[in-house]
Amino acid sequence: MDPVTQEVVRYRLATIADEMETALLRAAYSAIVKEGLDASAAVFDRLGNNIAQAAAIPIHLGCMIPSVHAILERWPADTMRPGDVFILNDPYAGGTHLPDIAVLRPLFHEDHMVGVAVTMSHHQEIGGMVPGSLPPNATDLYQEGLRLPPMKLYDAGEPVTPIFEMIRANVRTPDVVLGDVRAQLAACHLAQSRVAELATEVGRDTLDDVMAALLDQSEQLTRARVAEIPDGTYTFTDQMDDDGVEVGRKLEIRATVTVTGSDLHIDFTGTAAQAKGPYNCVPASSIAAIYYVLRAVTGNDIPNTSGCYRPVTYTLPPGSLVNPYEPAPVNSRTATVLRLCDALFGAFAQAIPERMPAAQSGQLLVMNFGGTDPATGKPYVTSELGMGGMAARPGLDGVDAVEASATNCMNVPAEAIEMESPVRVLEWRIWEDSGGAGRWRGGCGTEKVFELTAGSASANYRGERHTTHAWGAEGGHGAPFSRGDVRRADGTGESLPSKTMVHLDAGDRLRVRLSGGGGYGDPLTRPAEEVARDVRDHRVSAERARELYGVVVGGDGQVDAAATERTRSAHNEEKEQRA
Amino acid sequence: MTGSVGYSVGVDIGGTFTDIIVCPDDGGAATIAKVPTTPHDPGEGMIAGLAQSLAAAGAAPSDVTSIVHGTTVGTNALLQRDGARIGIITNTGFEDTLYIGRGKRRQMYDLFTGSDTPDFLCPRERVHGVGGRIAPDGTETAPLDEDAVARAADDLAVRHGVEAIAVSFLFSFVDARHEDRVREIVEARHPGLVVSLSSRIDPRFREFERLVVTAMDAYIRPTIGSYVTGLRTRLRELGVRVPLQVMESHGGIVASELIEERAVGTLLSGLAGGASGAASVGRATGRNDVLGFDMGGTSTDAALVVDGQPLTHDEGEIGGHPLRLPTVDVHTIGAGGGSVAYVDAAGSLRVGPRSAGSRPGPAAYGWGGTEPTVTDANLLLGFLSEDGLAGGSLRLSRELAAKAVRQVAEPLDMTDVRAAWGIHRIACAAMSAAVRVVSVARGRDPRNFALVACGGAGAMHACTVADDLGIAEILVPAHPGVLSAYGLLTADVKVPRQRTFQRDTRDLDAAELRAQLGEVAAAARAEIDRAGADPARVTVEAAVDARYVGQSHELTVPVRDDAADPVAAIVADFGDLHRTLYGQDDPDGRVEITGVRATAAAPGTEHTIGGHAGERHEGERRVYLPETGDFATVPVLSRAAVPETLDGPAIITQDDTTIVVRQGWRVRTDAAGTLVLTRTGG
């Protein structure tokens, strides 16, 4: 392959994927797509390899690969016709969870299939037992919504009308859902014209050769980076709070990474059996965690194709949380993906501790407030996307209040929530002392107080890290637990479990505190001036500064050097005695 | 020498050079000067350069009829984090808005990425929350705690010694009374302190974005204020009698007094000058739809110009931080002549994103660079000559360039020349991708546009980029190195204003829409009267931001004056625009309006800066032709020597750029002095 042509065509393919993605996100209706950027677009070759992907959110990495395979198995390339379009969302036939609908279109140049355009969007609604189709108490897939096995949505350019009608009849907000499907179709259509133009310009055979060369390129670059990791087997275990159904029963995630030269094997043997509640990950979801961690470890300068994944093999034990049997419920799998990432990073940290952070906060609180506004008589559903903090890194504090793992959402402005619903945001701060203490401090999480001003409402509170910690590394401390509390209008109060449906009446307040990331290194070695700055910035309280960092900060926000020296030496002595 | 002819002046202060154009209003030849920028006091170099240029043009300062300035003083203060010491006053409970940001990270796979919010603007200890709350419908649900405001003001002014205070309260875009009251209290207690109110700077919803723009305004306003005040004094002392005008990020100009009240508008004026210049170059040749392609040593800007004006959007960014301000739609990539080529671990040839920068620069400069750059490749291909750049003041070393390029040629098992062509070609692919972002990805077909090639390197790559995009015409202005200054000279006086106004179009009648548009139009018009426009020439264009109910991205839809039912017209036009941009629309969908906009504008003066008065010389040299894969002897002409028509392959040289006319392109010079390249075949 001529390297110049290869690179020139690579730019073109990447631009096409980006353009598809822009069309998907800009025209989106679902809050989770708009603010959560929960949609991806890609160009595949005709054999089902990902050649160029625009992902705004890492959790979609690789997750479209099984959907393309599902289609190509049933409709081999020689049976496809120009103008065919396929749809699916079945987690047990190439999908991830029901709200993620994949729309795929084989790409033709004249009469020859040259590739496949793939889009995947998280839809606001796909029917099932609760509005929004994310029931925290689902116990099987049938409760979660409408299941779309791989089907033709367009047959040689003609719409298969009954499928549209069936979707319309089975979801609560059909205009929104079909609007987002329309955006997916438009993105696929755009790919057809752009890729056909490209094939005409460079020649169909050249395009084919370039696609093969791009896969080889990504593979070789990935192998070169994997080879830099010391050979060995590294195991790490983390936990999830529970599955929302068997409340209080922790779920173990065990990741074993084996590095042999430029090959990687990931084994989740030892991970909890599949859950009764909706926290199961079908393989398409589990491999997204593997691929995200792989890219974070090997570097983003490697072009993102299926070639990146050739050096990786994996074991996903059947019947476990990472490969459940049909029809286990899966709607809340995002929380599990985040924990899979924590466990994988923990394993890699043993091989390359100087390059790996502590645990990220490991949670994203996606919560919907639903009710009817008494002022207008209209029903509303308002989404909240709550974030914790980033882990401390060797050499750097974690960033406060940010998405830091396989998800990459935007939060929802307080003004947006208040304009859409009778929910008022009374406070939205960085939660003091929520980052793990360390030589480098974990980023802090957030503290937010919502008040319902009128009527009554429900909220699907789906928390994590309420009973398990975001862990510290190399002597750094873990972050505190996340917490949810309700204070009723009558003055009574209650603490929320990790996952529950919350009922609110006018005047009730929900306070959500989301933990930060873990700390890195011994907090007693953090320079006192940095601790004092944290105290002045309300990231660390004066009490915790003294207790965890051994730094005494006066009322003026300055370090008391003498008192600090005494406190630190006392702490160090204590530590030695314990040792 | 004072005569009856007036002179218009454009002054663009860049990081290295200050560009000055003095243009007689009777259409005579312009005088152009490039003088070194004086970073410690940019006004010093500007005034000296201006005096010198006026003298060269035979003009007296009193002959100046307009003077427009593009300034990066605020931009630099922000990028170098050297702005004013500011404080923030906001609602209790929202003291951390600046640090929380929006939560999304730009670098998804970088475990060592930093914060994406501009938290450097103000440390947390200088943020005060005060009681008081306005509801979304404008009702006051808690009164402003005026004692707390007074305490906050005293603490910020006295203990922290701030120069400016940014004030941003929730829903101040609906009702600004609390913010207005804060200003009164601060000004009464601490006269002279700059106060930026979010309800004045950016009255739109989303509290983080509004706060950032407001805090940036406070951060740069003291610096900009003293800068323009000083400049006006110096201009007066020099004898210039007309008011100083300044370019804003959206490509329009305003009186310099206005930016003392709202400085943040100048933050991206550097980009705006270039886009405005590309638009002017196009208009001078009768091309209203052009794509600006400004390629320099370390970065390249691609700009979209439609109907003779740079298009604007609200998604600018500065220093990696989003900036919600009307900004010219320019896509910048960090690639240019200095981009470094390398062979990756898979044996593939890659170019950039790393750059050799201005130091050490390309290997051929002989300043110690050893890595192969795009400029080195261009030298080996014969596109550049060893006689070099900047009118021969910098000679290039073919030997050093070849040695550098060999580092990629050897592992690829290619000849040096073949590798050099590969580097050039891949750089062009990156450039084409950048131009696609502002055309194809905006629903515009580049084949309907002319490419305006500017910057030191634009015209060297333009034919290949145009071929990539199917563009059939390239315009190279007489002075591609002073594009921004030219843009200043010809820009419109312009004041865009907008505010949040949310309504389903089904619940909106024409009278209410007209009332809302009327208010914002009146605000824009009142402002433009102060901006130095001739009232007789002012026009006001109204537009709305609209989306389907349920979406969160808005499209800006112009409001047609003549429509019988303006609401129905908006719905129809929105559907058309949605289809153009995203390939689909929803004829049954409900459309809602989220904001109203008005842009008051008075057209600028068209100036052509004339033909090219350079040396005439003709020669030839060996140049690589990709069509044959070999070198051929190709004519090399100075720009002044270009005949009526000339077919490529040919090289045209001038002091500030080199124009590579590839095979299949024909070149002529038009009346405006612009070189027009048209595709003849291939």
Over residues B521-575, the pLDDT tens digits come to 999 998 888 877 788 889 999 999 999 887 778 889 999 878 888 999 999 999 9
Q: Does A400 touch chain B (CB under 8 A)?
A: yes
Contact residues on chain A for B300, CB-CB shorter than 8 A: none
Structure tokens at A223: 């192998």
pLDDT for residue B3 is more than 60: no
Q: Label residue B327 left, alpha or beta by phi (over 0 means left) and psi (-120 to 50 means alpha).
A: beta
Asked if residue A487 has pLDDT above 50, the reply is yes
Cβ distance A403 to B109 less than 8 Å, yes or no, reads no
How would you class B82 by CB atoms within 10 Å of its CB: exposed for 0-12, middle for 13-18, buried for 19 or more? Answer: exposed
Q: B173: distance to nearest CA of chain A, Å?
A: 11
Angle between helices A283-298 and A65-74 (to 10 degrees): 130
- Which chain B residues are within 8 Å of A27, Cβ to Cβ? 551, 553, 578, 582, 584
pTM of the predicted protein model: 0.92
Cβ-Cβ contacts under 8 Å for B229 (sequence gap 6 or more) = B260
> What type of residue sits at position A211?
M
Q: What is the largest CA-CA distance in chain A?
A: 82
Task: Please name which of A483, A299, A521 lies closest in space to residue A398, comparing C-alpha atoms.
Answer: A521
Mean predicted confidence (pLDDT) in B195-217:
95
What's the burial of A169, exposed, middle or buried (CB within 10 Å: 0-12/13-18/19+)?
A: exposed
- Name the DSSP class of B157: I
Strand duo A151-155 + A158-159: pairing? antiparallel
Percentage of chain A modeled with pLDDT above 90: 82
Residue A143 · residue A128 · CB < 8 Å: yes
pLDDT band at A310 (very low <50, low <70, confident <90, very high): very high
Nearest to B548 by CA among B510, B514, B578, B576: B578
Q: Which amino acid is at B543?
A: A
The pLDDT value given to residue A209? 97
DSSP type of residue A440 = B
Q: CA Rg, chain B, in Å?
A: 26
Task: Report the C-alpha gap between A20 and A22 in whole angstroms.
Answer: 6
Rounded Cα–Cα distance for residues A530 and A508 (Å): 39
Q: Do A11 and B430 touch (CB under 8 A)?
A: yes
Partner-chain contact A29 B344, CB within 8 Å: no
Q: B93 and A401 in contact by Cβ < 8 A? A: no
Under an 8 A CB cutoff, do A7 and B107 touch? no
CA distance A110 to A212: 21
Query: What is the C-alpha to C-alpha distance for residues A388 and A514, in angstroms, rounded to an integer?
Result: 5
Chain A residues in contact with B136 by the CB 8 A cut-off are 415, 418-419
Contact yes or no for A402 and B115 at CB 8 A: yes
Are residues B180 and B140 in contact, defined by beta-carbon separation less than 8 angstroms?
A: no
Residue A575 Cα, gap to closest chain B Cα (Å): 30
**Which among A125, A122, A118 has a CA at the least distance from the CA of A48?**
A118
What does the H/E/C string look like for B535-604? HHHCEEEEEEEEEECCCCCCEEEECCCCCCCHHHHHHHHHHHHHHHHHCCCCCCCCEEEEEEEEEEEECC
How far off is chain A from B20, nearest CA to CA, in Å? 38
Which residue on chain A is closest to B112 by alpha carbon?
Answer: A393
pLDDT of residue B390: 54
Determine whether the interchain pair A4/B421 forms a contact, defined as Cβ–Cβ distance below 8 Å. yes
- Report the pLDDT value the prediction gives residue A300, as an integer from 0 to 100: 83
| Conformational region of residue B5, where left means phi above 0, alpha means psi within -120 to 50, and beta covers everything else | beta
Q: How confident is the model at residue B276 (pLDDT cuts 50, 70, 90)?
A: very high
Kindly report the backbone phi and psi dihedral angles of residue B139, in degrees, each rounded to the nearest multiple of 5, phi listed first.
Answer: -75, 150
**HSE-CB of A394 using CA atoms within 13 angstroms:** 9
How sure is the predictor about A446, in pLDDT bands with cuts at 50, 70 and 90? very high
The phi-psi region of residue B105 (left if phi > 0; otherwise alpha if psi is between -120 and 50; otherwise beta) is beta
Residue B170 CA to residue B24 CA, distance in Å, equals 51
- Tokens of residue B96, six digits: 């951390």
State yes or no: pLDDT of B290 exceeds 50: yes
Q: pLDDT band at residue B449, thresholds of 50, 70 and 90?
A: very high
Lowest-pLDDT choice from A91-100, A163-172, A411-420, B31-40 = B31-40
pLDDT in tens, B49-79: 999 999 999 999 999 999 999 888 888 899 8
Average pLDDT, chain A: 94
pLDDT at A578: 86
How far is it, in rounded angstroms, from Cα B68 to Cα B75? 17
- A300 vs B136: CB contact, 8 Å cut-off? no
Q: How many angstroms separate the CA atoms of B605 and A205, rounded?
A: 54
The pLDDT tens digits for B141-197 are 999 999 999 999 999 999 999 999 999 999 999 999 999 999 999 999 999 999 999
Give residues with Cβ within 8 angstroms of B561, minimum separation 6. Answer: B542
Q: Which of A224, A202, A222 is nearest to A214 (CA)?
A: A222
Peptide bond into B603 cis (omega under 30): no
Q: Which residues of chain A lie closer than 8 angstroms to B98, CB-CB? A: none
> Is B273:B212 a contact under the CB 8 Å cutoff?
no
pLDDT tens per residue across span B351-399: 988 888 777 889 999 999 999 999 999 999 999 988 866 556 678 999 9
**In the prediction, which pLDDT does B2 show?**
47
Q: Tell me the pLDDT band of B38, cut-offs 50, 70 and 90.
A: confident
Residue B411 has a pLDDT of 96
Given a cut of 60, is residue B39 above it in pLDDT?
A: yes
Query: Scanning every residue of chain B, which has its alpha carbon at the shortest distance from the alpha carbon of A177?
Result: B550
The beta-carbon neighbor of B552 closest among A34, A187, A220 is A34
Per-residue model confidence (pLDDT) at position A258: 98
pLDDT at B192: 92
CB pairs under 8 A between A and B: 210
- Give the C-alpha separation, A45 to B106, whole Å: 28
Closest in B112, B430, B589 to A393, CB measured: B112
Q: pLDDT value at position B611?
A: 59
ipTM of the complex: 0.94
Compute the average pLDDT of residues A404-432: 93
Q: Do B104 and A37 make contact, defined as CB atoms within 8 angstroms?
A: yes
Give the span between the Cα atoms of A555 and A546, in whole angstroms.
Answer: 13
Q: B345 to chain A nearest CA, in Å?
A: 6
Asked if A176 reaches chain B (Cβ–Cβ under 8 Å), the answer is yes
| A172 lies within 8 A of chain B by CB | no
| A385 in contact with chain B, both atoms CB, cutoff 8 A | yes
Q: What would the pLDDT profile of A375-402 be if each residue is shown by its tens digit?
A: 888 888 888 999 999 999 999 999 999 9
Cβ contact B351–A7 (<8 Å)? yes
Interface mutation target, options A178, A402, A403, chain B, most CBs of B under 10 Å: A402
| CA–CA dist A244, A463 (Å, integer) | 9
Q: Is B54 helix (H, G, I), strand (E, B) or coil?
A: helix
CA B76 to each of CA B81, B122, B223: distance values in angstroms, whole numbers, following the listed order: 8, 17, 10
pLDDT band at A41 (very low <50, low <70, confident <90, very high): very high
Please tell me the distance in Å from A302's CA to the nearest CA on chain B. 10
B164-168 and B473-476 as β-strands: parallel, antiparallel, unpaired? unpaired
Nearest alpha-carbon partner for B79 in B214, B281, B255, B219 = B219
A430 and B96 in contact by Cβ < 8 A? yes
Cα–Cα distances (Å) from A259 to A225, A549, B18, B555, in that order, read 11, 37, 57, 50
Tally DSSP H helices, then E strands, for chain A: 12, 20
Cα separation, A27 vs A461, in Å, equals 28
pLDDT score, position A36? 67
Residue B606: predicted pLDDT: 75
Residues in chain A: 579
Q: Does A536 touch chain B (CB under 8 A)?
A: yes
C-alpha span between B653 and B648 (Å, rounded): 14
Q: Calculate how close chain B gets to A326, using CA atoms only, in Å.
A: 32
**pLDDT tens for each residue of B485-526:** 889 988 888 888 888 898 999 999 889 999 999 999 999 998
**Residue to test with chain B: of A2, A8, A19, most B Cβ within 10 A:** A8
Q: Which of B97, B99, B582 sits opposite A23 (nearest CB)?
A: B582
Pick among A37, A383, A415 to test the B interface (most B CBs inside 10 A): A415
CB contact under 8 A, B349 and A4: yes
Contact A300 B584 (CB under 8 A): no
B645-678 exposure pattern, b = at least 16 Cβ within 10 A, e = fewer: ebebbbbbbbbbbbbbbbbbbbbebeebbbbbbe
Which residues, numbered 545 to 564 in chain A, qualify as contacts with chain B under a Cβ-Cβ cut-off of 8 Å? Answer: 557
pLDDT above 70 for B1: no
Banded pLDDT at A160 (limits 50, 70, 90): very high
Contact at CB, B103 and A538, closer than 8 angstroms = no
8 Å CB contact of B344 and A217 = yes
Q: Would an 8 Å CB–CB cutoff place A235 in contact with chain B?
A: no
Q: What percent helix, strand, coil does chain A show, rounded to 5?
A: 35, 25, 40
* Cβ count within 10 A of residue A540: 29
Contact criterion met (CB < 8 Å) for A176 and B430: no
CB of A379 within 8 Å of a chain B CB? The answer is: no
Query: Which residue type does A56 have?
Result: A
Question: Is B104 close to A410, i.e. CB distance below 8 A?
Answer: yes
Minimal Cα distance from A537: which residue of B? B124
Question: What value does the mean pLDDT take over residues A311-334?
Answer: 97
Strands (DSSP E) contained in B434-509 are 450-454, 473-476, 493-504
Q: What is the C-alpha to C-alpha distance for residues A564 and A558, in angstroms, rounded to an integer?
A: 11
CA gap B283, B277 in Å, rounded: 10
Amino acid letter, residue B348: S
